[in-house]
Amino acid sequence: MLAGYAVQVEHSRGRRFPEPTHPYRNDYQRDRDRIIHARAFRRLEDKTQVFTRRYSDHFRNRLTHTIEVAQITRTVAGALALNVDLAEALALVHDLGHPPFGHAGEKSLDSAMREQGLFFDHNLHALRIVEDFEQRYAAFRGLNLSFEVREGIIKHSRDYDPAEYPELAEYLLDQRPPLEAQLVDLTDEIGYNTADLDDGYEAHLLTLEQIREGVPVFEGFFREVERIYPDAADKLQFNEALKRVFNRLTGDLITNTQARLKEAGIETLAEVRGYKNRLAAFGHEVEAERKQIKDFLYENLYYSPSLAGEKDDAERIVTELFAFWMKNSSALPLYYQEKAEEESLPRVVCDYIAGMTDHFIVEQYEKHCGEN
């Protein structure tokens, strides 16, 4: 039984190209499966989350991060009596538009585009992927995903001004997204905040003492774990404390969202869409803890001197390759040369780079710009 404010698949606004009903999968389950089988989804395996494989091959990459976020999202959506199939599809697609090299790659690609009077937005790029780039079906371009998944791709993490993005008018920019989409930005934070603490500790870029001192919620749970498991190894104590942080964030997202829905008197999807603010949220105390974790990671991990060299390499590779193809468009693959006859060259070069894996873009850099 779904809540009255959940998205009902029977009331979906449908696909851009109508298709017959599937005999044993609903539309959101089909969307989930199409996303998983997409080439762009497979490429997430070789796209940096935080750490490249120089550190280890068992740290998170974009693909494993996405799977973890999908798991968290299913749990939260189920607890809130939301449409779990839609929520899972949105979690699986939420990072599809990210370029290689993590945030360093995204930053440098956006900078290159802004020099051309354009910009790069990974949500909008993900929409381009599922609408156009993926070619698996004879009847239409793209994956032909349902409206609610396409809407969630662009609206799960931010609100777009209808006046600034008239090309997105069909996606109800004057309304809030459904709760299934609202959840994803928050479950994404739960996923990467806890995972990055874990990977940072495993990589020896963060010490246990640093984390205990800089993340008060972790310190509180670590003291509890020390009392319960005084003889356990540091790593196991760390795992137990981090598990408790994870559960606190997840549990609070569920209970606080339930409380906000009740306080606002929300009973229908239309009321979710028409509400003045997003309704999925952490409580004030846990929101402050979430921000502390994020600030700690920025100060001690993401801008760590140990990672600075890789970020510099990433920015140089993206920037120089972008400039190379802008000057030498004939060196682009034939498909992209043909697209450049229909769209602006900067956008085509951006699309090409954004779709690359870390490994492939390094190969291209060595081929066209000299050794890395």
* Spatial separation of the C-alpha atoms in residues 196 and 216, rounded to whole Å: 16
The burial class, CB within 10 Å (0-12 / 13-18 / 19+), for 18 is: exposed
Query: What pLDDT sits at residue 307?
Result: 80
The pLDDT value given to residue 49? 74
Measured CA to CA, the distance from residue 342 to residue 33 in angstroms comes to: 31
> In this structure, what DSSP letter does residue 177 have?
P
Q: Token digits for 6?
A: 């959940």
Say what the pLDDT of residue 48 is.
Answer: 80
Could you say which DSSP state residue 176 is in? P
Residue 372 pLDDT: 42
Q: Residue 52 to residues 60, 66, 201, 311, 367: CA-CA distances in angstroms?
A: 9, 16, 15, 10, 21
Q: Which residue has the tokens 């090309």?
A: 167
Q: CA-based angle 131:136:141, to the nearest 5? A: 35
Domain map (residue ranges) of the chain: 9-15+26-307
pTM: 0.94
**What are the tens digits of pLDDT across the range 269-309?**
999 999 999 999 999 999 999 999 999 999 999 888 878 88
- Answer for the pair 180, 94: CB distance below 8 angstroms, yes or no: no
CB 90 within 8 A of CB 156: yes
Quote the CA–CA distance of 273 and 262 in Å, as a whole number: 15
CATH architecture of 9-15+26-307: Orthogonal Bundle (1.10)
Question: Over its length of 372 residues, how does the chain's per-residue pLDDT go in tens digits?
Answer: 999 999 999 999 999 999 999 999 999 999 999 999 999 999 999 988 776 555 556 678 899 999 999 999 999 999 999 999 999 999 999 999 999 998 899 999 999 999 999 999 999 999 999 999 999 999 999 999 999 999 999 999 999 999 999 999 999 999 999 999 999 999 999 999 999 999 999 988 999 999 999 999 999 999 999 999 999 999 999 999 999 999 999 999 999 999 999 999 999 999 999 999 999 999 999 999 999 999 999 999 988 887 888 889 999 999 999 999 999 999 999 999 999 999 999 999 999 999 999 999 999 999 999 754
**Segment 163-174, tens digit of pLDDT:** 999 999 999 999
Contacts of 310 (CB under 8 A, 6+ apart): 52, 54, 101, 104
